[in-house]
Amino acid sequence: MKRSPRPTLKRNGTRLAALADKYDLYQRSVQSPENEVAFFDRVFRTYHKRPPLLLREDFCGTAAVCCEWAKSRRDRRAVGIDLDPKPLAWGEKHNLSQLSADERNRVELRKADARDVLAPRADVIAAQNFSFYFFKTREELARYFRAAYRNLGRQGVLVLDVLGGFECMKEDTEEVRGYRSFKYVWEQARFDPITHACRFHIHFRFPDGSEMKRAFTYDWRLWSMPEIRELLTAAGFRAADVYWEGADPRTGKGNDVYRRREHAESDPAWIAYLVAVK
């Protein structure tokens, strides 16, 4: 068997994967806090004709969106909630520390189950990066949606991102995106067509041939759009509107512009926003 070339090592012999920070890589490859905040602001104004001021970021991880929210206006506050203390501590050290004193005072992080935190009532609740797919039964997801409804003010929106398409159901496939100093790898490891239980991994690969395998693993249920919308309506929301991504007419690829749609063409792999309105 032909041996692969020996990976280039750092001068001290340490491979790049061992030196990398998975939360930093995640933020650089997955998150876009500026775009998220702009979208939250736009859709809230669409329904309620005023600027939203209080954001609650459920399953907030490193709270990058909370920090961007606080930076976007001097009268905005954010509450980030997550059960895992590790990303919260990382966000405290690396994200909140970059804020001004005034901005920092307007961000609060809580280690808690988002379903159990009852105050304060927010203008916008965001559950991004498909975090609510963690709930695998209708009752679990319905309980979260009921809690979100209670935790919104009289005027409020719950913003979710949703994924689907038959390519999301393929096993043993990878999507690779290149960045300047690493590659992001999304692996679809398992899909059960009976239960819609699925397992995904994120890996990071580096120019020296090293790899941070399974930096993040997700055991989810792949919920369908109709199921989610029906549960939101049952929780009390008066609308559950889909914001579908447009396409660049030259390339046919997504253009990062999301508009409210009632119907869409079939797409093998899609991501959309779902905005539930109180």
Residue 114, helix vs strand vs coil: coil
Structure pTM?
A: 0.92
- Residue 263: pLDDT over 70: yes
- Which region among 8-22, 59-73, 144-158, 227-241 has the lowest average model confidence (pLDDT)? 8-22
Give the chain's length: 278
Q: Which residues contact 1 (CB under 8 A, 6 or more apart)?
A: none
30 alpha carbon, distance to own chain's centre: 8
As a whole number, mean pLDDT of residues 38-64 equals 98
| 172 within 8 A of 189, measured Cβ to Cβ | yes
**What Cα–Cα distance (Å) separates residue 135 from each residue in 99, 142, 218, 223?**
33, 9, 11, 9
Contact between residue 160 and residue 141 where contact means Cβ atoms under 8 Å apart: no
Q: What's residue 73's pLDDT?
A: 97
Question: How far is it, in rounded angstroms, from Cα 275 to Cα 51?
Answer: 16
**Confidence band, pLDDT 50/70/90 cuts, at residue 140:** very high
Is the pLDDT reported for residue 7 higher than 90?
no
Cis amide linkage into residue 51, ω under 30° from 0: no
CB 256: neighbour CB atoms within 10 A?
A: 11
Domain residue ranges of the chain, discontinuous segments joined by +: 16-25+166-220, 32-163+222-277
Number of neighbouring beta carbons within 10 Å of residue 94: 17
Residues 169/193, Cβ–Cβ less than 8 Å: yes
Side chain identity at residue 235, one-letter code = A
Determine what percent of the chain is predicted with pLDDT higher than 70.
95
* pLDDT band of 250, cuts 50, 70, 90: confident
pLDDT at residue 203 greater than cutoff 60: yes
> Residue 3's pLDDT is what?
38
As a whole number, the mean pLDDT across the chain is: 93
Q: And the tokens for 185?
A: 């790898």
- Residue 11: per-residue pLDDT: 44
pLDDT score at 9: 44
Q: Provide the pLDDT confidence category of residue 89 given band limits of 50, 70 and 90.
A: very high
Q: What is the percentage of the chain residues whose pLDDT exceeds 90?
A: 90
Q: Which tops the pLDDT comparison, 231 or 13? A: 231
Task: Assign 119 a pLDDT band (cuts: 50, 70, 90).
Answer: confident
Do residues 259 and 242 make contact, with C-beta atoms less than 8 angstroms apart? Answer: no
Q: What is the pLDDT of residues 147-193, one digit of tens each?
A: 999 999 999 999 999 999 999 999 999 999 999 999 999 999 999 99
- pLDDT value at 52 more than 60: yes
Q: Residue 5 has what pLDDT? A: 40
Distance, in Å, from the CA atom of 128 to the CA atom of 33, rounded to the nearest integer, reads 11
| Distance (Å) of CA 4 to CA 7, 8, 53, 178, 221 | 9, 12, 55, 21, 38
Q: Element (H or E) spanning 145, and its range?
A: helix 138-150
CATH 3.40.50.150 for domain 32-163+222-277: yes
pLDDT at 13 (0 to 100): 56
